[in-house]
Amino acid sequence: MPELPEVEVVRAGLAPAFAGARIEAVTVADERALTRHPGSAASFATALTGRSVSAVVRRGKFLWLPLEDSARAIVGHLGMSGQMLLRASGAPAERHERVRFDIRHPLHGDLAVVFADQRTFGSLAVDDLLPTPDAAAGGWGSDRPFVPSQVAHIARDPLDAAFDEGAFRAALGRSRSAVKRVLLDQTVVSGIGNIYADESLWGARVHPETVAGSLATRTVTRLLVEVRAVLHKALAEGGTSFDAQYVNVNGQAGYFAHSLNAYGRTGAPCHRCGTPIVRVSFTNRSSHFCPRCQRRR
């Protein structure tokens, strides 16, 4: 599933074309893409046609596009396989195309933005914007202190300027759950995901099943440093792509998969000590770690 780096790459690619553009037409090819929208496909198109988008914003793995002169936004979630693709006006339909926005930008002219989704777990909706409780910007891409109601429960991510490090430390300290489970709890910290949790825990030399509340203060500090380093590196490398389902707005894959130290390396030697990386079941996913470097305390 796309996480912070992948969704941020998409956001950054959409922003120059969509921010400031006017939506000329909306075509819904598959209403399953509107499962989070409170109305019909017709109401979705009517609410957006003729409106202008002021920005492209992200928190965690959610995107939203605030509408100018409005307290509403288009909110999107890519799900397992959702793609936001930037295309020339009139371009042929994409495979698995669900929704198309025909837009007109004052600098770039007529363009098309396509939401394609093979597995149909992603979604788009028109949603109300709410003030942020801390009065800080809602997310990356805008300085406005508003967030869609569907995203309000999602915590800030570790790269957000308004991320509350003290609250994060406190949440870890009072938790009796495995530290990896806490890292994946989007109400505590957003955007990390399974891949980046494994990579961060490997970097910090922390076993994924260590009780979060048992971590020493210096270990939490080291873990947070590793989380941010992993996310920054993944961003610089365009995210992680294992197949054709995650691509940027131009259809290009990220290459962070080549930099992985733990995730997906079952049986391969640890890059620090040479011990084979192991894989264990974790809820409905897997954890990858070095049994020597990341001993369970």
pLDDT at 236: 83
96 is in an annotated binding site: yes
Confidence check: pLDDT of 242 > 90: no
Domain boundary assignment for the chain: 4-148, 165-289
**Diameter over CA atoms, the chain:** 59
Q: Does pLDDT of 245 surpass 50?
A: no
Average pLDDT, the chain: 91
Is 207 annotated in a binding site? The answer is no
pLDDT in tens, 250-265: 555 444 556 789 998 9
* Residue 114 binned pLDDT confidence (cut-offs 50, 70, 90): very high
Q: Per-residue confidence at 134, pLDDT binned at 50, 70, 90?
A: very high
Active-site residue identified among 36, 144, 169, 285 = 285
**Domain 165-289 is found in CATH 1.10.8.50:** yes
- Catalytic, 285? Answer yes
165 is catalytic: no
265-283, pLDDT tens digit by residue? Answer: 999 999 999 999 999 998 7
The DSSP secondary structure of 208-268, one letter per residue, reads: TTSBGGG--HHHHHHHHHHHHHHHHHHHHTT---SSTT---TTSPPP-GGGG-SSTT-TTS
Q: Pick the catalytic residue from 51, 59, 61, 156.
A: 61
* 68 in catalytic set: no
CATH of 4-148, one of 3.90.180.10, 3.20.190.10, 1.10.10.10, 3.30.420.40: 3.20.190.10
Closest CA to 289 of 279, 178, 225: 279
pLDDT tens-digit map of 45-92 = 999 999 999 999 999 999 999 999 999 999 999 988 898 999 999 999
pLDDT of residue 277: 98
